């Protein structure tokens, strides 16, 4: 939730004071939050301190980084560049959990937190290599060369949130966060519950899985691996086809594979197949949604505007995790929360169809001057 709250804030800070300063602030929020959490002794303290971690992710994550890549890329290759950048997050998703498990096997969880804080601080060296486009280079880009390029941020935000297209993107991103966070947090438990009486087949055992808990870990790893290729493919497709229709197709495919999975007997093989297909669609929406924000509203305030849209994603993620637990406690299974995810997926697929992909300043009702 605080990642979502912090995303438009850090986007605005980057656009006001510079990308490097915003990222450095995010790195320190992240590291300090982890170090302080290592010394927390109550759940309440952890939750308060994890707010700092959320802000740290906002300062170092998609919102700020994709805006930098968007401004540094040409119109022709921007969508692919955003896809490659998004896929880099999945590499971290594959490396991070096994590394954490290895650390926990030899040191305390407190020391594991501190070790990750050190890793995060080391990313300060990467910031010095950022080559940001100059104002003259930015001005030559067609996406910057518009009537509102020199407008202050608040009129641009006010105009965007009144645009139905922006509302459609905001609502549509909700289901992405809901589905991803629910699956990340609860899918391993669902697998254990629904496959507890089934022994892994020889095919699954050949992948190093000997228990249902191991199958849950494998499922998350498969999602992360296939996401790398799916996200890059989505970015490439976004260079050649309508992004709103691609988004509608992705949400529809997520919905169909979820219905197929839950309506059929759940087996270790179906878990792996579902994870592979869902993984290919996992973050495929991110470069397309970010690309649409930059395409429609320009790149100058892309970080802030995408951050506002991304808040909907994190709101969905918060509810996906929380409802997953609350409805499981109430009903004794995950079926209801799974079908809610399917329903919001249908809404997201439909709500992208009326999106107007025409740049805002090229529409007939757009203001004729910055005033």
- CATH number, domain of 291, equals 1.20.1250.20
pLDDT of residue 205: 55
Compute the distance between CA of residue 204 and CA of residue 217 in angstroms, rounded to an integer: 12
Rounded mean pLDDT for each run of 10 residues along the chain, 371 residues in total: 93 90 94 92 85 93 88 86 88 79 88 94 87 53 49 86 93 92 87 64 53 70 89 92 95 94 85 91 92 89 92 94 92 89 94 92 60 40
pLDDT of residue 365: 57
Supply the DSSP string of 76-138, one letter for each residue.
TTHHHHHHHHHHHHHHHHHHHHHHHHHHHTTS-HHHHHHHHHHHHHHTHHHHTT--PPPHHHH
Task: Check if the beta carbon of residue 299 is closer than 8 Å to that of residue 316.
Answer: no
Helix (H) or strand (E) run with residue 66 in it: helix 62-72
| Domain contains 28 | yes
| Domain contains 368 | no
pLDDT of residue 133: 61
pLDDT of residue 348: 94
CA-based nearest residue to 157, from 43, 341, 313, 11: 11
SS3 label, residue 332: coil
In order of 165, 182, 313, the CA distances from 176 in angstroms are 17, 10, 6
| Domain contains 283 | yes
Compute the distance between CA of residue 314 and CA of residue 61 in angstroms, rounded to an integer: 13
pLDDT of residue 196: 58
pLDDT of residue 170: 94
| Domain contains 359 | no
In order of 69, 148, 333, the CA distances from 139 in angstroms are 16, 12, 55
Residue 60's CB is within 10 A of a number of other CB atoms, namely: 23
pLDDT of residue 140: 46
Compute the distance between CA of residue 266 and CA of residue 261 in angstroms, rounded to an integer: 7
Task: Check if the beta carbon of residue 317 is closer than 8 Å to that of residue 77.
Answer: no
Structure tokens belonging to residue 210: 């000997």
| Domain contains 366 | no
Structure tokens belonging to residue 88: 């880099």
Q: What is the CA radius of gyration of the chain?
A: 21
pLDDT of residue 369: 46
pLDDT of residue 112: 92
pLDDT of residue 91: 81
| Domain contains 340 | yes
| Domain contains 218 | yes
Range of the domain at 296: 2-353
Q: Note the pLDDT tens digit of each residue in 181-228.
A: 998 888 888 887 776 555 555 545 555 555 555 677 778 888 888 999
| Domain contains 64 | yes
Task: Look at the chain and report how many structural domains it folds into.
Answer: 1
């Amino acid at each position: 939730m605080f990642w979502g709250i912090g995303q438009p804030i850090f986007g605005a800070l980057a656009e006001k004071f510079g990308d490097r300063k915003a990222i450095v602030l995010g790195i320190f929020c992240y590291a300090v939050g982890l170090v302080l959490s290592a010394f927390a002794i109550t759940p309440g303290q952890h939750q308060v301190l994890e707010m700092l971690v959320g802000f740290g992710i906002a300062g170092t994550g998609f919102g700020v980084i994709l805006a930098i890549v968007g401004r540094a890329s040409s119109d022709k290759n921007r969508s692919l560049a955003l896809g490659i950048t998004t896929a880099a997050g999945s590499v971290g998703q594959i490396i991070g959990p096994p590394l954490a498990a290895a650390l926990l096997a030899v040191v305390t969880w407190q020391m594991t937190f501190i070790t990750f804080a050190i890793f995060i601080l080391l990313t300060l060296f990467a910031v010095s290599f950022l080559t940001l486009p100059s104002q003259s280079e930015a001005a030559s880009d067609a996406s910057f060369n518009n009537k509102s390029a020199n407008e202050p941020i608040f009129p641009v935000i006010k105009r965007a949130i009144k645009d139905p297209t922006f509302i459609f993107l905001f609502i549509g991103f909700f289901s992405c966060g809901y589905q991803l966070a629910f699956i990340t947090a609860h899918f391993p438990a669902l697998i254990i519950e629904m496959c507890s009486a089934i022994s892994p087949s020889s095919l699954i055992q050949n992948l190093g899985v000997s228990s249902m808990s191991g199958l849950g870990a494998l499922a998350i790893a498969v999602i992360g691996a296939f996401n790398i290729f799916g996200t890059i493919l989505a970015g490439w497709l976004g260079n050649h086809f309508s992004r709103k229709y691609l988004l509608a197709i992705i949400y529809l495919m997520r919905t169909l594979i979820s219905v197929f999975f839950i309506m059929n007997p759940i087996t270790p093989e179906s878990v792996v197949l579902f994870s592979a297909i869902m993984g290919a669609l996992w973050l495929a929406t991110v470069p397309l949604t970010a690309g649409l924000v930059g395409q429609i509203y320009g790149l100058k305030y892309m970080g802030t505007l995408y951050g506002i849209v991304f808040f909907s994603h994190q709101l969905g993620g918060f509810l996906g995790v929380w409802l997953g637990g609350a409805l499981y406690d109430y009903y004794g299974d995950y079926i209801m929360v799974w079908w809610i995810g399917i329903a919001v997926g249908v809404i997201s697929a439909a709500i992208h169809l009326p999106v107007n992909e025409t740049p805002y300043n090229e529409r007939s009702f757009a203001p004729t001057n910055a005033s």
